[in-house]
Amino acid sequence: MQRVDPASFTPELTVDALLNGPGALCVRGLFSAAQIDEARRIVMAHSDDRAQTVTHFQGQAAHDERLHLQRRVWNLLAKGDVFSQMAEEERIVAAMRAFLGDDFIMGSIAANRILPGGPGQEPHIDYPYWDYHMPGTFPAGINTSFPLNAQVTIPLDPFTAETGATAFVPHTQNMLRYPNENDRFYERAVRMEAEPGDAIVFFGATWHCAMPNHSTRDRSAVLIQYLPKFVKPMEDLRAMVGEAFVKRASGTMRQLLGLNYPYPQNLEAIDKATNAEGRTNAKRY
Ligand SMILES: O=C(O)CCC(=O)C(=O)O
């Protein structure tokens, strides 16, 4: 995986690495030790007694009754300002504008904690492609020549082969396919090895998965999903954060919550008879 310092983390480099390159890029040291400590403290506090939140791509662990060794913490925006700082980090925002369009939104911000001995995931691709094992439910001609997703993984613990660093198969984002047993995923995969505070930016159409934690320590990460403005978000973030959060939200956060792109709407209920869309004299409500 290509690794760059924050100064070299440009929108152009990101678009090229995610669309034409391996599909992933690691930015070293984007977040401070204080931010990581705070995020980790909150994630651990919210997952110590919560093995039962919904998770994904863990069908085998559910079958083996080992689901409790991985834990998700959802709705992070409501759990600490540090998560807003991560979601709104200005270099990430600039890269996402270039990759997903200026009005891009956030579809999810959650933590994935894998406890010592915890299971890996099924190799997969991410929302909104995550059920592409049923390709007939997607539009004719769909492809990944343009992206409908970007992921940012921020490790809160060292991501090593032993702790369960995410595995991915470079260049698989271009074919848009859900990986299967014949794809030799584990033979072909490389690991997203990284330090706490790094940010791994990747196109979620790239085949990947969390790997088993063979170490004696926890392996946690913040996972942020960004989407173009028109894709229905995965978490209902606007409803989950509540009114008070929205009232004090920055302009960037309002955009991430989807508030700049006000659809769907009950157009019949808008009593002002204005022109809401179009190149000339348009005012949205
Ligand atoms: O935690 C990880 O290493 C990856 C998680 C992931 O790919 C997912 O939940 O979609």
* pLDDT tens profile 169-228: 999 999 999 999 999 999 999 999 999 999 999 999 999 999 999 999 999 999 999 999
> In the prediction, which pLDDT does 59 show?
72
Nearest residue (CA) to ligand 1, atom 5: 210
Of 112, 162, 202, 226, the one to substitute when testing ligand 1's pocket (max ligand atoms within 8 A of C-beta) is 112
Query: Cα–Cα distances in Å, from 159 out to 104, 210, 221, 243, 271?
Result: 28, 10, 9, 36, 54
Ligand 1 centroid – CA 221 distance (Å) = 9
Mean pLDDT of 235-247: 95
> In the prediction, which pLDDT does 53 show?
64
234 by DSSP, 3-state: which? coil
Ligand 1 centroid – CA 260 distance (Å) = 28
**pLDDT, tens digit, 9 for 90 and up, residues 33-57:** 999 999 999 999 999 875 556 677 6
Q: With cut-offs at 50, 70 and 90, classify the pLDDT of residue 271.
A: confident
Q: Are 165 and 112 in contact (CB under 8 A)?
A: no
Of 114, 152, 201, 208, the one to substitute when testing ligand 1's pocket (max ligand atoms within 8 A of C-beta) is 208
Mean pLDDT of 243-268: 95
Element (H, E) at 56: none
Q: How many CB atoms lie within 10 A of CB 186?
A: 12
Residue with tokens 């992933």: 24
Nearest residue (CA) to ligand 1, atom 2: 210
Residue 211 CA, closest ligand 1 atom number: 3
Percent of the chain with pLDDT over 70: 95
In terms of Cα–Cα distance, which of 247, 248, 262, 227 is closest to 106?
Answer: 227
On the question of pLDDT at 279 being above 90, the answer is yes
Mean pLDDT of 138-156: 98
Residues with CB under 6 A from ligand 1: 56, 112, 126, 166, 208-210, 221, 223
> In the prediction, which pLDDT does 41 show?
98
SS percent in the chain: helix, strand, coil, step 5: 30, 15, 50
Mean pLDDT of 274-281: 90
Q: Mean pLDDT for the chain?
A: 94
Beta partners for residue 27, in sequence order: 4, 199
**pLDDT, tens digit, 9 for 90 and up, residues 79-137:** 999 999 999 999 999 999 999 999 999 999 999 999 999 989 899 999 999 999 999 99
On the question of pLDDT at 65 being above 80, the answer is no
Domain parsing of the chain, residue ranges: 2-269
Nearest residue (CA) to ligand 1, atom 1: 210
> In the prediction, which pLDDT does 285 show?
78
201 by DSSP, 3-state: which? strand
Ligand 1 centroid – CA 112 distance (Å) = 7
On the question of pLDDT at 60 being above 80, the answer is no
Residue 130 CA, closest ligand 1 atom number: 10
> In the prediction, which pLDDT does 49 show?
75
Q: Is the peptide bond before 119 cis (omega within 30 degrees of 0)?
A: no
Class of domain 2-269: mainly beta
In terms of Cα–Cα distance, which of 187, 253, 195, 190 is closest to 219?
Answer: 195
On the question of pLDDT at 58 being above 90, the answer is no
> In the prediction, which pLDDT does 135 show?
97
CA distance linking residue 53 with residue 111, whole number of Å: 11
